[in-house]
Amino acid sequence: MRWRRTLTFLPVWLAVQTSFAVTGADFAIYDGPGAWADGITAFEHFLDWKGVSHERVSYADVNSVELKDFYKAIFFPGGYAAYYVAYINEEGLRHIRDLVSSGGGYFGTCAGAYFASDSIVWEGDRIDYPLDLFQGLSVGSIHDLAPWPSYTMTTLRMNTSDRVCQYEPGTEVMLYYGGQYFVPYEGTSVDVLATWSDYHDERAIIRFDYGSGRVLLCGAHPEIEEDSDRDGTSFADELDDQGTDWYFLWSAIDWVLGRPISHPKFWINEFHYQNAGEDQGEFVEVVLPDWYEQPRNVRLTLYDEAGRSYGSYRISNFQVGSHVEDLQLYFLDIPSLVDGPGGLALDCNGELIQFLSYEGTLTAVDGPAAGFQSEDVAVRESESDPPGLSLQEQGDGTEVVDFTWAGPDPQTKGFANGDQGLPVELAAFSARFEAGQVVVRWTTANEHENLGFELLLANSPEGPFRLLTSYQLDRALRGAGTSARSHSYRVRCDVEPASGLWLKLVSVSATGEKRSFGPFPVGGGGSLPAQVELHQPWPNPARERATIEVRLPSAVVDLEVGVYDLRGRLVRRLWHGAAPAGRLSLSWSGRDGAGRLVPAGVYLVRLRAQGEERVVKLLVQR
C-alpha cells in the first residue's frame, strides 16, 4: 500500500526473519517485513485458480539466492515499501534485476510498485528508491480517491487496444488502497493498461520491458476479490467490485510470465477427428463469452504433426450453438482433420490464446502458435471407435479451469458436453391469468443436473419475492436432470388476479446451486397465441441485410420486435404497435438506431406481445 519515511522504531522481530525453503516455482512471492498478508493470500489463491506454481520468499532469500535460477517471476505485494528498501540489500536488488533482465517478470501492486520505481512522492515529499526498474515517479496516495489509510472502490478506464486488455470491457471497478499514479521520465516508454477514471485519467496500471523481461506495476489491487471469498481473505468484502478483476489479472500474468495472453472464458471445447472406417463428421467446437462482440477477430488454426498450419477459420464463420449462462458455443464441420498427432490453436487478433494437441505434443513453426509447444489433451480417438464420438472438456463451471479433457464420449456438438456443468438455459417463458389462476409456461434449451424449479412472486420487479411453489411441492416443476434437448414445463398456481405482479423462475441443481431468471411480468387480458411463429432470420449468418418473418394466427394489439445485443441492449426496433393476422416480413439492414453499421457478432431478435416472448439468434458477419 504505502511507504514509510522513518524506520527508527521498527519492531525487533522484523530484523530476524529467516529464509523459507527455496525449491523453485513459476512465481516467487515476497513475504518479508512490511508485506501485506491479505495481498499475499489473495494472489496465492489467484495463482492456484489459474494453475501457476508459487512459493514464498523472505528478504534473506532475495538477498542470498540467484532468483533467476529458481523462478520465472517475482511478486511484491502491497504493504510498506520502505521496509522493502530497508531489508533488501544491494545483492538482493541485483538478484531482482537479473531475474527480470534475463527474461523473467516482476509484478508489483501498490507498495510493490512504489518499490520498483526510481523515486516516489508521498504526501508531497520526494524520496529516491534503489531498485530502479521503472524510470519514473510513483505519486501517492491519491486522497481524491480515498484519504490514507482508508480504501474504496474506484473506476479504471481500461486500454482495450492494448494486447493485454483486448478482452476487457471499457471500464473496471477495482479496490483502491493507498496506490499511486505513474509519471515516466522524459524518454521513458511504457504501455498504459489503465488510467484512474476518477482522477484526471492519470496512469494507474503500466507495463514495460526491462532487458529481456517484463514489468507490470499496478496502483490498484486486482488480486483482491471484493464481495467474494474465493481470494481467501475477508478484506473489503463489504464492498462490491461489480464483477471479478481476476479476468484482467489472468491475461496480465500471462504477459508477465511470457506466455500466450489468454482468457479463462475463451477455449476449445470439443472436437472429433477419427473413427472406424472412413472418418465421419469431423468438427471443432469453441466457447467464447457472450459479451465478446467480435467473433471474427478470433480464429481457429489447425496444425499437422510437423507443426505446420494447414487451415484457418474465423469463429464468425462457425455455426452458432447453445447459449449458456454468459457463454456462447460455436461449432464448425471441418472434414479431413489429421488423424494425429495434430494441433488446434485459438487466437485473437493474432494473439495466441490456446494451443492444444492430440496424440502427442508438437511445436508450431508458423501461424499464430509459431514457436510455442502445444499442450496434449491426454485423451485420444482410435480407428476402432464408432462414429458419433468426440473428445470434450467436462466438469462443472463456466471457466476453462473448471474442466478437464475426457472421452471419446457421445458428441454434443453445439451443446454443453455430457458432463459439463453449465447451468440451465431458458429458451422461453410466459405467465398469464386463466380462470382465477396464473398459468406459467417455460421451455429450456438444455439442462445439467437440474433437480427442478422454484417460482417466486412479487408485487414489483424489485421485490421482495416470496416462494409461490417449487419442485418439492409440485411434480410439474421437477427438472430433466442432464439433457442436451429442449424440455417444456407448465404449472398452475392459485394467485388472486391483480395488475403489477412479477415472477422469478429459479433452477436448482443437484449440488444445491441456484440460478434465477427474470423477473417476468404476469400478463393479463389475453396472451400471445401459441401458434405465433418467429422464424429464424434469413440469411443467417448475414452480412448486410436479414429478413425476419413473423406469422400471427390472429391480430395482436401490442407487438414489439427488436434486435438486441448479448447484453440485452436494444440495437434497432423493427416493429412496435398493433399487427394484423397473417405473415409479417421485417427487414434489418444491420444498422443501429442511429444508422451506424453494427459490428460483427451474435445478436438476438426478440418478439414480445402481451407478456410473452420469443427469441432467435442472428449472426452478423463483416
Pairing, β 342-348 against β 327-333: unpaired
- Give me the chain's average pLDDT, please: 87
Amino acid found at 311: G
CA 138 to CA 126: how far, in whole Å?
10
Q: What is the pLDDT of residues 332-389, one digit of tens each?
A: 999 989 998 999 999 999 999 999 999 999 999 999 999 999 999 999 999 999 888 9
* pLDDT band (50, 70, 90) for residue 425: low
- DSSP annotation of 197 reads T
Measure the CA–CA gap between 50 and 361, rounded to whole angstroms. Answer: 21
The rounded percent of the chain whose pLDDT value lies above 70 is: 90
| Cβ atoms of residues 423 and 402 within 8 Å | no
- 508: Cα within 13 Å, side-chain hemisphere: 12
Nearest CA-CA partner of 530 in 435, 615, 430, 605: 430
CA distances from 596 to 278, 290, 297, 571 (A): 48, 22, 20, 10
Specify the 3-state DSSP secondary structure of 584. strand
Q: Quick one: DSSP state of residue 79? A: B
- Lowest mean per-residue pLDDT among 76-85, 216-225, 380-389, 486-495: 486-495
**Span 236-250, mean pLDDT?**
87
Amino acid identity of 369? Answer: A
Residue 510: which residues within 8 A CB-CB, separation 6 or more?
A: 449, 450, 451
* Assessment of whether the complete model's pTM goes beyond 0.85: no
- 220 or 588, greater pLDDT: 220
Closest alpha carbon to 532 in 611, 416, 424, 475: 611
d(CA 96, CA 94): 5
When pLDDT is averaged across residues 272-279 and rounded to a whole number, the result is 92
pLDDT at 555: 63
Query: Beta partners for 251?
Result: none
What pLDDT was estimated at residue 528?
Answer: 47
Rounded to whole angstroms, how far apart are CA atoms 185 and 172?
27
pLDDT at 569: 79
How far apart are alpha carbons 26 and 43 in whole angstroms?
13
Burial-class residue 212 by CB neighbours within 10 Å (0-12, 13-18, 19+).
Answer: exposed
Please report the pLDDT score of residue 57 as a whole number.
97
Dihedral sign from CA coordinates of 320, 324, 326, 331: negative
268 neighbors 257 (Cβ within 8 angstroms): no
Cα-Cα-Cα-Cα torsion 502, 507, 512, 513, nearest 10 degrees, comes to -90
Q: How many CB atoms lie within 10 A of CB 492?
A: 15
What residues are paired with 392 via a beta bridge?
Answer: 270, 406
Cα gap 553→528, rounded to integer Å: 10
243 vs 394, higher pLDDT: 394
Query: In sequence order, what are the residues at sequence separation of 6 or more whose Cβ sits closer than 8 angstroms to the Cβ of residue 426?
Result: 442, 443, 444, 445, 505, 517
Dihedral sign, Cα of residue 537, residue 538, residue 539, residue 540: positive
Nearest to 29 by CA among 49, 57, 65: 57
CA dist 166 and 256 (Å) reads 16
Mean pLDDT of 506-510: 82
The phi, psi pair for 212, rounded to 5°, reads -95, 5
Say yes or no to pLDDT of 182 above 70: yes
